[in-house]
């Protein structure tokens, strides 16, 4: 499949390599900017079960747990 796509690119070998790198960079850009952020809202990997501990959570002003 990739060989067929590479053969469909116009120009000599150097131009084909350059075009394939530009296309690859474009695909990576679109994935990083639009697809992955959209998918991250559906991913359970970003869910955290730990809460940030604050001084009010401890009941003391120092922000350290009771021992």
Rounded distance between C-alpha atoms, residue 15 and residue 10, angstroms: 7
Q: Which of 50, 45, 21, 24 is nearest to 36 (CA)?
A: 45
Contact 15, 9 (CB under 8 A): yes
Q: Which residue has the tokens 């002003």?
A: 61
Rounded distance between C-alpha atoms, residue 48 and residue 34, angstroms: 23
Rounded distance between C-alpha atoms, residue 16 and residue 64, angstroms: 61
Domain ranges of the chain: 11-40
pLDDT tens for each residue of 13-50: 999 999 999 999 999 999 999 999 998 888 777 666 76
Q: In this predicted structure, which of 7-11, 43-47, 51-55, 57-61 has the lowest mean pLDDT?
A: 57-61
């Amino acid at each position: 499949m990739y060989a067929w796509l590479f053969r469909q690119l116009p120009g000599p070998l150097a131009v084909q390599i350059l075009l394939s790198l530009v296309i690859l960079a474009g695909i990576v850009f679109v994935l990083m900017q639009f697809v992955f952020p959209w998918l991250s809202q559906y991913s359970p990997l970003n869910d955290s079960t730990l809460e940030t501990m604050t001084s009010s959570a401890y009941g003391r002003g120092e922000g350290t747990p009771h021992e």
